Structure 1
Amino acid sequence: MREGPAPTGGAVASAGTVDDLCRHAAALRRAATGVAAVLAGVRTTGGAGSPLRARLDGRVLVWQAALDADAEALRARAALLDRLAAGWALPTPGPWPAAAISPGPTSSRVPIVPAGPTVPIGPTVPIGPTVPIGPAEVAVGGIGGAAVRFDPVLLGALAARLRAAADRAAALGRVVAVAVGEADRTLTRMGAAGPGGPAGRGLRLVAVEAPAAAADIELRMARFAAAPITLRRVGPGDPSERPGRTPGGRPASPTALAVAAGLLALFDSGSRSIPDTPGVERLRAIRARLADLPGPIRAGVIGLLRGGPLTVLAAMAARLAGTPKPGAVLAAAELAGLADDLLAGAPPDLLGELVRALPWLEPAAPPPAGGERSGPVVGVDRSGDAIVRDGAEPGDVGQGAVADCYLAAALIGLARQDPALLAERLRRNPNGTVTVTLHPGSGAPVGVTVTATLPASRVSAPAPPGGGGGRGEAVQEIAMDGDNAAGQPELWPALYEKAYARLHGGYPAIGFGSASVALGTLTGRSVSRRAARETSVADLVALLGRGEVVVLATRSRTRPGGLVAAHAYPALAVDAARGRVLLRNPWDPAPGTDNVRWYAWSQVVADVHTVVHGPTR
């Protein structure tokens, strides 16, 4: 029973839509229940006063508050549908039909709420030797000097639960998006305006930050496991090194010992000649067994390859690269996959040696933005910065000096249509590297691991306030910006670009590429192309409405005052009533601007050669 008469003058449900409204309301309530329970089972471990526990507790409270807000918003939306089904009316929509305008670039950022005086845990937290963790409980100093005990088994379980919660949040985010979309489409068919506003902000926050928190825990465990496997030489002239126990060393499991022995046998540095190329099946077996090891143990096993074994690995890779035989090509591909595994799992202090031995693990640098006058390209370590801060957004992407507007446009389109996909396919490893999942040739997924060192050139900087005598020196990143539109560190566009460059042989190799190839590599789905002159505004509305990414590739010559020639623009929204399309120029915008502008399709269609479009999943 409702209180008072139903308002008049708005959209009223007909008998044919009441069942749909009730069904959508029930789906939203079920989703709300799931959203509130995403963090079920996630409990911190450790003694009172632990800095790690204090930081993680703070983040869990923030996550739960955001999830509760999500759940409440879904319940409120369901209540509106119930009221409409019962005969109440919603306000009539504005002068433009809701169906005529595809969703615009609304913000999906969730404000980060400080959890007391502590620093939030996540990819932005500097990792330092503050909480020693070993293979058994270890007493450490906590806040105020109190002893704190940690069990690595419990911490490993906590990391696993955090990753499981992130997976639940990502999956539930897709369910919520579908439920809200179906409800809003029903309201649109009735001519009613929905409550509006993005849903699932808390889910996106957990999907992004929980894996980062798990990686933080695993990194601490890896750093303080202190080489779980040690190497012992049998004799001064005996090349047969084998892993084992040294005085004071920690015991290694039989599985870890077997994997370590297999790696050492694979790259035996005792002989003067390069060992024979291992078979593909043997390489795959080693990779599979290495992947099955816990992170800290894996880092210890990989650490055994310092020096001679890495030199042998580099020589073996070089020899395979110069052998065109089919068997050698397959072995080279598998050996490259093993090298990627080593980069993702190596102890942090081995990364430099690994990249020096296998320089192709670091893509060839782009030329300096200012030419030779800028001096040599330098690397800026951004491993302590956030990968995805509060959800991937179109404004996070800014094309640098590399001529890969097509890739930037595809990333912007994905951030607009499916930001969760971009976050899901980035994994921060315990050693600070990041593994990016790509789909070469729109095919099977391939993990491409890159360091968070970004190419930059030296530039002059103004003298600091208060004097100091003249101008100083700073660095400016050459490729995609490592900061978002607000100037905050957010690395995901730069990491996708770096992985794409590594996949294609370096930054110089990805200039002037194909938007369709880039989009297919990012999504793994087939991509379509159509002539711009054969594409109408209604076609663009339909493509964006289906959730597809739409990129416009311009002609080599465009009209004066029109779109930039030989460039790529992602379409963010369409206003069917006015025949307009909202485009974003992927160039890094000037301060205070966003490079987003409405264009009349009838005017810019002459500048556009091809409309590239494709689904995200």
Structure 2
Amino acid sequence: MHEGPAPRGGAVVSAGTADDLGRHATALRRAATEVAAVLSGVRSTGGTGSPLRARLDGRVLAWQAALDADAEALLARAALLDRLAAGSAWALPAPGPWSAAAISPGPTSSRVPPVPPVPPGPIGRPASAEAGAGAGGSGGAPVRFDPVLLGVLAARLRSAADRAAALGRTVAVAVGETERTLARMGSPTGTVGMAGRGLRLVAVEAPNAAGDIELRMARFAAAPITLRRVGPGGPPERISRPPGARPASPTARFVPSPARPASPTALAVAAGLLALFGAGAGARSDAVPDTLGVDRLRAVRARLADLPDPTRAGVIGLLRGGPLTALGAMAARLAGTPKPGAVLAAAELAGLADDLLAGAPPDLLGELVRALPWLEPAAPPPPGGERSGPVVGVDRSGDAIVRDGADPGDVGQGAVADCYLAAALIGIARQDPALLTERLRRNPNGTVTITFHPGSGAPVGVTVTAMLPARRLSAPASTGREGERGEGVQEIAMDGDNAAGQPELWPALYEKAYARLHGGYPAIGFGSASLALGTLTGRPASRRAARATSVADLAALLDRGEVVVLATRSRTRSGGLVAAHAYPALAVDAARGRVLLRNPWDPAPGADNVRWYAWSQVVADVHTVVHGPTR
């Protein structure tokens, strides 16, 4: 810029006008940032190495250059407004050497030629058949045609076009207000009107490019092919690796195989729906609640659920970085909005986040949890308070979840005050152990999804990682290697080992999922045995007074296959049952008038915490008998 004459008439900028100029400058700088980021989601999508994608990349680079020119013009005008507000007089910058792409009126620009649809090769020929000509061709080298990546690209192109169109209207309003303010001051106007041409270019051309991709994919969808790995006994390639990563074998190449029909279009639609999160990355924070609706979220979840596991992992893996950040911002914004529509959307978004945790590639789990920290339930307070130090996580993903079926001896309560939940798990493991294993599904990424029945609603799947809360031991523990000492930890919640000391995680994972369902480990202390039993089984649980229950009644309940849990009073007799505690009934000896109870506490080595009690001696300690069927 060069200094020029003062505004005509030598007008002095008043305080009110200075405020207006500062406000317009701020709006223009914000618009410049958003303009430059319009294509951020498109640029982050990995390529497929095809000539089609190479030509599309060239167009995207030209669009970005035009957008950068828009942003530069907006920033230049904002700097001028700042100078004017401060009382300095500056002339408008002379028009710079705008590129042809930046000033192109539409898709006929000679710098950005339209890309004609490329027809697919004959059925049964390698995907590399398209590489025979054009930029990016590799002279017959294999080319990976990835419908997931192309579907995401098409969806993000359309999303970028929508953002460009909407942002173009916003920029036009901001520029118009700026021009009117300058006109009132007698300052020259007009050059900033050039800003917005890049936005118009993207709004017009990006949908055409998306249409080219979708047309090509539709033609491929009509061919009965699927992708397989070439090689002696080579397994199918997993698409969950990060975009751009090299295949496991340098000699691996992908070719069509007539083994099974594939549906690239269906995969692309699902990937495109997930790409909606990319749109939120560039949206203003005050617009986040409107970026996703309940119906839209449900559609995403339904399409995601229809995909096979490897494909689902590949789709979710494309959300790395900005899209996950946008998803976290959406969740936070919706959680703080009390409107009924926002509450419903927040609930649906939480369900989608759970689906993502269940299907994400293993290397994405940490980033997903960082973006949505509530996917890990709030940790229990360490025993002994702050003196015990912070709670840490122990990764048990390599340990067995269920060994020889669910057994009552597998459950050990730990330091969380949820004896009612442990007692319900023990009771179910005694009466219907298959139910516990049927409601538990290990996902390919090592997470576990457990089905609950909260309230009277539909079944709910809650997904958790195998990271269990623990506290550090004050004395280092031996690593098992001579001369070495390692840092020891003690798990706080339900035991991750069975009665034999072998790793068996199902009780700890049930507890963790139950904690997630209710808002964290601290929230599940001192709960209801009937609520826990109903949530685990999906069947209503009943309650009856202990004094009105005989040994014969208890025997009849167990014989019918029901789970029986005894809830003790807040005060009990010395030598009797523990106060404010829950005991599952494992067996009844009606002839001798006694009942076999298990204290759900984690037993000491060599003990099982199982004992026969005369019902007549302990009935005074029992307040309520909770019972219910498992199916």
Match of 2:541 in 1: 527
Are the counterparts in 2 of residues 457 and 477 from structure 1 also a CA contact under 8 Å? Answer: yes
Matches within 5 A, 1:355-370: 355-370=369-384
Match of 2:132 in 1: none
Are the counterparts in 2 of residues 442 and 523 from structure 1 also a CA contact under 8 Å? Answer: no
Are the counterparts in 1 of residues 242 and 317 from structure 2 also a CA contact under 8 Å? Answer: no
* Aligned with 1:486 (options 492, 500, 507): 500
* Aligned with 1:259 (options 270, 281, 286): 270
Partner SS for 1:305: coil
Alpha carbons of structure 1 residues 329 and 575: separation in structure 2 relative to 1, 3 Å = same
Counterpart residue type for residue 600 of structure 1: A
Are the counterparts in 2 of residues 504 and 510 from structure 1 also a CA contact under 8 Å? Answer: yes
Are the counterparts in 2 of residues 228 and 250 from structure 1 also a CA contact under 8 Å? Answer: no
Are the counterparts in 1 of residues 335 and 346 from structure 2 also a CA contact under 8 Å? Answer: yes
Matches within 5 A, 1:272-291: 272-274=283-285, 275=288, 276-291=290-305
Distance in 2 (CA, whole Å) between partners of 1:318 and 1:532 is 46
Matches within 5 A, 1:61-100: none
Matches within 5 A, 1:43-122: none
After the TM superposition, which of the residue ranges 318-327 and 489-498 deviates more from structure 2?
Answer: 318-327
Partner SS for 2:406: coil
Q: Offset of 1:228 from its aligned partner?
A: 8.8
Are the counterparts in 1 of residues 379 and 521 from structure 2 also a CA contact under 8 Å? Answer: yes
Q: Offset of 1:370 from its aligned partner?
A: 3.7
Deviations 1:239-271 (A, max 9, x none): xxxxxxxxx899992222221122112441452
Are the counterparts in 2 of residues 570 and 585 from structure 1 also a CA contact under 8 Å? Answer: yes
After the TM superposition, which of the residue ranges 414-423 and 290-299 deviates more from structure 2?
Answer: 290-299
Match of 2:355 in 1: 341
Distance in 2 (CA, whole Å) between partners of 1:229 and 1:419 is 43
**CA RMSD, Structure 1 to Structure 2 (Å):** 2.3
Counterpart residue type for residue 257 of structure 1: A
Distance in 1 (CA, whole Å) between partners of 2:535 and 2:303 is 28
Match of 1:380 in 2: 394
Matches within 5 A, 1:453-464: 453-459=467-473, 460-463=475-478
Distance in 2 (CA, whole Å) between partners of 1:568 and 1:548 is 16
Distance in 2 (CA, whole Å) between partners of 1:456 and 1:488 is 18
Q: Offset of 1:385 from its aligned partner?
A: 1.1
Counterpart residue type for residue 468 of structure 1: G
Count, aligned residues: 390
Are the counterparts in 1 of residues 228 and 254 from structure 2 also a CA contact under 8 Å? Answer: no
Partner SS for 1:388: coil
* Aligned with 1:308 (options 307, 317, 322): 322
Match of 2:336 in 1: 322
Unaligned runs of 5+ in 1: 1-133, 140-147, 153-220, 232-247
Matches within 5 A, 1:377-416: 377-416=391-430
Match of 2:167 in 1: none
Partner SS for 1:530: strand
Matches within 5 A, 1:211-610: 224-227=238-241, 253-269=264-280, 271-274=282-285, 275=288, 276-459=290-473, 460-463=475-478, 468=483, 472-610=486-624
Distance in 2 (CA, whole Å) between partners of 1:462 and 1:383 is 21
Q: Offset of 1:374 from its aligned partner?
A: 2.2
Distance in 1 (CA, whole Å) between partners of 2:540 and 2:606 is 37
Rg larger for: 2
Distance in 2 (CA, whole Å) between partners of 1:366 and 1:491 is 18
Distance in 1 (CA, whole Å) between partners of 2:607 and 2:227 is 52
Distance in 2 (CA, whole Å) between partners of 1:571 and 1:523 is 17
Deviations 1:128-157 (A, max 9, x none): xxxxxx941443xxxxxxxx50454xxxxx
After the TM superposition, which of the residue ranges 319-328 and 560-569 deviates more from structure 2?
Answer: 319-328
* TM-score, normalised relative to structure 1: 0.61
Identity %: 80
Are the counterparts in 2 of residues 540 and 574 from structure 1 also a CA contact under 8 Å? Answer: yes
Are the counterparts in 2 of residues 230 and 249 from structure 1 also a CA contact under 8 Å? Answer: no
Unaligned runs of 5+ in 2: 1-225, 246-252, 257-262
Distance in 2 (CA, whole Å) between partners of 1:387 and 1:314 is 30
Are the counterparts in 2 of residues 437 and 448 from structure 1 also a CA contact under 8 Å? Answer: yes
Counterpart residue type for residue 296 of structure 2: R
Partner SS for 2:390: coil
* Aligned with 1:149 (options 214, 230, 233): 233
Structure 1: which 4+ aligned runs deviate by more than 6 Å?
228-231, 248-252, 464-467
Alpha carbons of structure 1 residues 465 and 289: separation in structure 2 relative to 1, 3 Å = closer
Match of 2:90 in 1: none
Alpha carbons of structure 1 residues 381 and 578: separation in structure 2 relative to 1, 3 Å = same
Partner SS for 2:458: coil
Partner SS for 1:597: strand
Distance in 1 (CA, whole Å) between partners of 2:393 and 2:592 is 47
Are the counterparts in 2 of residues 442 and 520 from structure 1 also a CA contact under 8 Å? Answer: no
* TM-score, normalised relative to structure 2: 0.59
Alpha carbons of structure 1 residues 270 and 444: separation in structure 2 relative to 1, 3 Å = closer
Deviations 1:322-343 (A, max 9, x none): 1122211111111111000100
Partner SS for 1:268: helix
